[in-house]
Each structure stands twice: as C-alpha cells, then as structure tokens.
C-alpha cells in the first residue's frame, strides 16, 4: 500500500512526465515541419537549374545568403552523369520541443534542441519526388546513423541576378547586328552569372530574351525585323509567369507579352 508521501510524489511527477512526452512529440513535429520547408525549397530550385551546387545552395540559404538554422547538409549524391535527375540530398534537422522553441530565424540560447532527425529527398528536373497521398515534396525520414554522420558545407551559390537598364541597352546593342548568330555572339561576349540568354528566329524576326528567373527578377525582350527595325521592351511580370507568355526568344520574335492581361 502506498503511503501519502509516495502518492504526493507521484502526483508531482506526473505533469513532468506528460510534459516530457509532449515536448518530444512537439520536437518531432517541428523537425518534420522544417524538413517539409526544405523539401519545398528544393522543389523550387531543382526545377530551375541544372547545376547541383546552385540547386542545393539556393535551397538551403535565405535571401541574405545565410544557411538555414537547424538544418545541416549531410550528402549530395548526384544523379547519372552529374545531373539533377535522381540526385539524392540528405539533411539533418533539429526539432525544438521546449516552450518558445518555435520555428523561424529567432532561435535563442534557451531553446535547447530536443531531437535531431535525418531526411532524404530525391530530385528530378521538375522538382522533388512527392508524397503519394499529399502531393507535397517527399521528405523521407531516415535513421542510418543520423547522429554520427558528418556535416558537409552548403554550396555557395552565385549572386542573385536582377536585370537593370544596362541589360536593356546591351540587348538593344546586340540586336543592331544582323542575324541570330551575331546577336547571340554579342550577348555571349559579356555573360552575366544567373542571366539566361535565348535567341531564335520566327517569321523572319530575330528574337532575343534575357531572363534572371527563377532566382532573381527581370525579363527583357527584343526583336529585329527583316528591314532592320529593332524593338526592345520589358514585359509586365504577370505576362511571363507559368500559364502566360514565356521570357524566351519565340515570345520576343512574335512581339508577345506586351498587352496587359484583360
């Protein structure tokens, strides 16, 4: 038969036990939520670049270039031929279960880590493999020596490009040259990291496009007609989104992405 003091001790300890269980569950849920954020970030970057360092570097860094808190990179296993297709990325994520251990970039010294889980993502040219039920990027939890694995550096991506008036003038100057090959050569002579150049011909018009997507911002289109007439314009951003016109040579040669949507 338990004494009164034993019963009192058990009553005092029960909330602590329940809190500990809750904290552990919260930590796991927090780690899963962070891992889902990583998956969504990889999904965006994988669909916009063929360079693995760019894909991983942009995905695991914030807008100022700092690495994500509570996320450590463990492995990047390239797909066949070093391509994005089939590349495996594995990370270790720290989950916080204590009160105040919320997600975000404001982690304080009192927010002791409660759990560390490892996750695997499989990349495709269009993004990340998705969960069969939810359709969300799949963050597969793995247990293969998670705590003991060594951390590797997150690649440093190139500066995020933003098109300026100088790019518009460079495109205009390139289009002063007759022929698609000459326009391409002029634009390739002064490459800008992260800026995509596209040149083509449609209905006798040479079209050229400069695009800083998907990392940066900006699109400049231009075309040269059979009589040497040159037109250069900056399309409204809404017209060069998925489902609308594209920031490419065909749109430029056709004179598209000019009229605002109705």
- Name the residue among 97, 89, 42, 47 with its Cα closest to residue 70: 97
- pLDDT confidence band for 214 (50 / 70 / 90): low
Among candidates 161, 167, 182, which has minimal Cα distance to 233?
167
Sign of CA dihedral 42, 43, 48, 49: positive
pLDDT confidence of residue 73: 96
3-state secondary structure of 142: strand
- 22, HSE (Cβ side, Cα atoms, 13 Å): 8
pLDDT at residue number 34: 94
CA torsion through residues 102, 105, 111, 115, sign: positive
What the block records as the tokens of 66 is 């700092």
Residue 102 predicted with pLDDT over 70: no
User: How high is the pLDDT of residue 215?
Assistant: 58
Per-residue pLDDT tens over the stretch 31-67: 999 999 999 999 888 876 667 888 898 889 887 778 9
DSSP 162: B
Round to whole Å and give the CA distance between 145 and 241. Answer: 43
Rounded CA gap, 69 and 93, in Å? 9
Q: How far apart are CA 208 and CA 203, in angstroms?
A: 14
Angle at which helix 52-59 crosses helix 4-46, to 10 degrees, equals: 140
Average the pLDDT over each of 75-79, 123-127, 156-160, 205-209 and give the range with the smallest value: 156-160
* Closest to 120 measured CA to CA, from 26, 42, 29: 42
């Amino acid at each position: 038969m338990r004494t009164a003091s034993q019963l009192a001790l058990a009553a005092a300890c029960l909330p602590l036990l329940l809190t500990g269980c809750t904290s552990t569950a919260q930590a796991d849920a927090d780690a899963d939520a962070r891992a889902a954020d990583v998956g969504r970030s990889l999904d965006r970057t994988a669909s916009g670049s063929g360079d693995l360092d760019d894909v991983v570097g942009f995905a695991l860094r914030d807008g100022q270039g700092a690495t994500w808190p509570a996320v450590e990179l463990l492995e990047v296993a390239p797909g066949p031929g070093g391509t994005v297709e089939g590349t495996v990325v594995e990370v270790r994520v720290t989950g916080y279960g204590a009160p105040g251990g919320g997600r975000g970039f404001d982690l304080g010294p009192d927010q002791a880590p409660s759990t560390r889980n490892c996750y695997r993502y499989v990349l495709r040219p269009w993004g990340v493999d998705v969960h069969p039920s939810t359709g969300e990027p799949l963050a597969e939890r793995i247990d293969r020596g998670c705590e003991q694995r060594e951390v590797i550096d997150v690649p440093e991506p190139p500066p995020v490009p933003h098109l300026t008036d100088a790019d518009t003038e460079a495109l205009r100057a390139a289009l002063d040259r007759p022929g698609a090959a000459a326009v391409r050569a002029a634009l390739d002579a002064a490459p800008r990291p992260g800026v995509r150049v596209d040149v083509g011909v449609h209905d006798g018009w040479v079209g050229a496009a400069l695009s800083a997507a998907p990392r940066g911002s900006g699109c400049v289109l231009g075309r040269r007609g059979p009589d040497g007439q040159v037109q250069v314009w900056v399309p409204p951003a809404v017209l060069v989104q998925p489902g609308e016109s594209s920031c490419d040579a065909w749109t430029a040669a056709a004179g598209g992405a000019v009229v605002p949507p109705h």
